[in-house]
Structure 1
Amino acid sequence: MTAIPQGRRTRRAARAGALSAVALVVGAALAGCSGDDPDAGTNGVGKLPADRIQARAKAAADAAGTVHLAGDVVTNGRSYRLDMRLKPEGGTGSVTSQGVTFGLLRIGAQLYLKADARFWSSADGDKSGGTDSGTADKLDGKYVKVPQGDPAYKRFSGFTDKNVLLDGLLSLHGTLATDGRHEQSGVRTVRVTGGKGSGGALDVSLEGTPYPLLLRRAGDAGTLVFSEWGKDFPLAAPAQGDTVDYGKQLPAS
């Protein structure tokens, strides 16, 4: 067997060492691309502590011009199903309570309520006492102006107020903590909980702006989905022929 000169053995060893080093670098790069880093390609809020994630989500919500929220809210012992689009100058959408659905529209300070005759005539609906059938038929499908002094104004206007509604909804209770990565409507999220979940849970987008996307309220007080952040929508007063003005107080209010 012919002996390999010392110089050639040294060069072969050097090449082998270099190839090993390249393999290690490539392997590390491939590992990094394989999804081991949960924050790869995200907006980075997942790396923050829970209180800062919540703060970033609230700031994003405040800065957004519009939002669409849908889901259930339990307040004062009554459950409401909301489907509302909101902006700083008002909002529009529908509310369902105790099997009765009615529409809300607010433009500035003026609030309109639109419902069918069953809403106005039902003593067990959202109007206490009910209205006689003749009046209820006249109000059927009309936008009724809600006077600011009427109890219904205070009761329902908050559902159309973006700032008031979100300020109340996006506050978690108890010690804040992160609770892993999740997904909402195909968007990756990081979850923040209050009181280990008993104080509510908020899923915040890890893609683009860190908007709130899903809220589970404390005490099983409802679940809401947020979407269409910043997507504008029309907000206009109803036609005069579709509007009823009852002056200072709604009928049977």
Structure 2
Amino acid sequence: MTARSEGRTRRAVVAGAVCVLVVTGSGFLTGCGEDPDAGTNGVGKLSADTIQSRTRTAARSASAVRLAGDVVTNGRTYRLDMRLKPEGATGSVTSKGVAFGLLRIGGRLYLKAGAGFWNHADGDHGTSAAGKLDGKYVKVPQGDPAYKKFSGFTDKDVLLEGLLALHGSLATDGHHEQAGTRTIRITGDKGSGGTLDVSLEGRPYPLRLQRAGGAGTLTFSAWDKDFTLAEPGKDETVDYGKQLPAS
């Protein structure tokens, strides 16, 4: 072997070693002549504005989704774990250490919570209300302020439309991975306006959102995976009338 051919061989070995390190460190190919968008749905090659438009369209048309994480609004943190579809939703919300369940089927909204939640009731209800409502599915009257407040957590289109907006000038921020799925990340105002990881596999669904201003981080999964919504039994349900105790 000549000195020249030995040099070429040595360079090839070094390049191969570097390639292995790149692949191992990032979890996907970002160098070595490989196209990071090869075998994907192609949205990684689009502009950030187009990616955001397509992911919002995909989210609106999805038949179901699971949403989990924290949302900070008006200085208050809500931890959500909701499964949503157009006709209803089921899941839980936690705020200030108190958890409650939500179930919506069509226009019927039920709230299920322990005595600790209802013990904050005002007026003459007090602990007697807590005992009656503890662990029951309480039907929320549509005219009650709680209906408007809590039904937003169960409305797929309203919730996603409000959450998936990034603020400021949009840009792409490289290829990443979320729960084993390759993603393209888009940012608003270089991240200060939020970041969104969009799936590069299948439909361009949003998979992870970091909201602007530290207003929470959410993950999205189980896209298009149906789930059952069942009316609670009569022995599990309490109809409190036209208005719930204030909580």
Instruction: State the TM-score, normalizing by the size of structure 2.
Output: 0.85
Change in CA separation of 1:206 and 1:35 when aligned onto 2, cut-off 3 Å: farther
Where do residues 52-71 of structure 1 align in structure 2 (5 Å cutoff)? 52-71=50-69
Q: Does 1:91 align with 2:89?
A: yes
Paired amino acid for 1:199: G
Corresponding residue for residue 250 of structure 1: 244
| Contact 2:89 2:229 (8 Å CA) reproduced | yes
Aligned to 1:82: 80
Find the partner of 2:156 among 151, 162, 167: 162
Amino acid corresponding to residue 248 of structure 1 in structure 2: K
Deviation of the 1:251 alpha carbon: 2.2
Does the CA-based 8 Å contact 1:204-1:213 persist in structure 2?
yes
Q: 1:239 to 1:202 in 2, by over 3 A?
A: same
- Contact residue 130 and residue 252 of structure 1 kept, 8 A: no
Pick from 139, 147, 156 the counterpart of residue 133 of structure 2.
139
Contact 2:109 2:139 in 1 (8 A): yes
Q: Which amino acid aligns with 2:160?
A: L
In the TM superposition, structure 1's runs of 4+ consecutive aligned residues that sit over 4 Å from their partners are: 31-35, 127-131
Deviation at 1:118, TM superposition (A): 0.8
Identity %: 73
Instruction: Confirm or deny that 1:202 pairs with 2:200.
Output: no
Post-superposition Cα deviations, 1:81-115, rounded to whole Å, max 9, x if no partner, equal 00000000110000000000000001111110000
1:223 aligns with 2:217: yes
Give the aligned partner of residue 46 of structure 1.
44
Kept in 1: contact 2:71–2:78 (CA 8 A): yes
**In 1: Cα distance, 2:125 partner to 2:191 partner:** 43
**Is the 2:102–2:154 Cα contact (8 Å) retained in structure 1?**
yes
Name stretches of at least 5 consecutive residues in structure 1 with no aligned partner.
1-30
| 2:234 is the counterpart of 1:236 | no
What amino acid sits opposite 1:44 in the alignment? G
In 1, Cα distance between equivalents of 2:123 and 2:39: 57
- In structure 2, the residue matched to 1:188 is 182
Code of the aligned partner of 1:201:
T
Q: Distance in 1 between matches of 2:75 and 2:67?
A: 21
Measure, in 2, the Cα distance between the counterparts of 1:129 and 1:62: 42
Q: Which amino acid aligns with 1:209?
A: R
Q: What is the deviation of 1:252?
A: 3.5
C-alpha spacing 1:136/1:47, structure 2 compared with 1 (3 Å): same
TM-score normalised over the length of structure 1? 0.83
Other structure's SS at 2:235 match: helix
Query: Which amino acid in 1 is paired with 2:64?
Result: T
CA 1:251–1:53 in structure 2 vs 1: closer, same or farther (change >3 Å)?
same
Change (3 A) 1:96 1:35: farther
Highest Rg: 1 or 2?
1
User: Which of 100, 106, 116 is the matching residue for 1:108?
Assistant: 106
Contact 2:122 2:245 (C-alpha < 8 Å) held by counterparts: no
Distance of 1:249 and 1:35 partners within structure 2: 65
Aligned equivalents of 1:240 and 1:35: distance in 2?
Answer: 64
Offset at residue 203 of structure 1 (A): 0.2
User: Which residue number corresponds to residue 3 of structure 1?
Assistant: none
Number of equivalences: 219
CA distance in 2, matches of 1:55, 1:202: 12
For 2:80 and 2:234, locate their aligned partners in 1 and report how far apart those are by CA, in whole Å.
Answer: 26
Mapped partners of 1:65, 1:208: distance in 2:
15
